[in-house]
Amino acid sequence: MNDKPLLILIAGPYRSGTGGDPQAMAANLARLEAAAWPVFAAGHLPVIGEWIALPVLRSAGAGPTDPLADQVLYPAADRLLAHCDAVLRLPGDSAGADQDVATARRRGLPVYHDAADLPRRTPQAAA
């Protein structure tokens, strides 16, 4: 494989099924973040849309349950996907994650459902 690390979007439930409960959303974010290490350990760079969207919302004085959230969460993931090389789709119902997968497939990007299936990259020592 190419020695360039892939930028991999980790997609899965964040708000879905939480009823707006902050603790449930935090638990979902923790599950997304738990997938970051296996992506990194495979030699790639993990990214999660909420890492971009939540600070944007906070800077607008809003949170994930505010009406503005729909204008930030999905568009942030879509803009981020324009820079990603692949998607890792975690289990669970999520309209946003399904949208990320559809966008990735339209753009010809690989979609993985298990971090074990990611191509392994052995970083070369800097010369």
Domain CATH number, residue 96:
3.40.50.10400
Q: CA separation (Å) from 67 to 17, 58, 74, 106?
A: 17, 13, 13, 28
Report the pLDDT value the prediction gives residue 2, as an integer from 0 to 100: 58
Helices (H), 35-124: 36-41, 49-59, 69-81, 95-106
Confidence of residue 3 (pLDDT cuts 50, 70, 90): confident
Confidence of residue 126 (pLDDT cuts 50, 70, 90): very low
Domain count, the chain: 1
Domain annotation covers residue 127: no
Q: CA separation (Å) from 31 to 20, 48, 60, 73, 90?
A: 17, 11, 26, 17, 9
State which residues form the domain around 42.
7-112
Domain annotation covers residue 119: no
Question: What single DSSP character describes residue 90?
Answer: -
Domain annotation covers residue 1: no
Domain annotation covers residue 19: yes
pLDDT, tens only, 5-40: 999 999 999 999 999 999 999 999 999 999 999 999
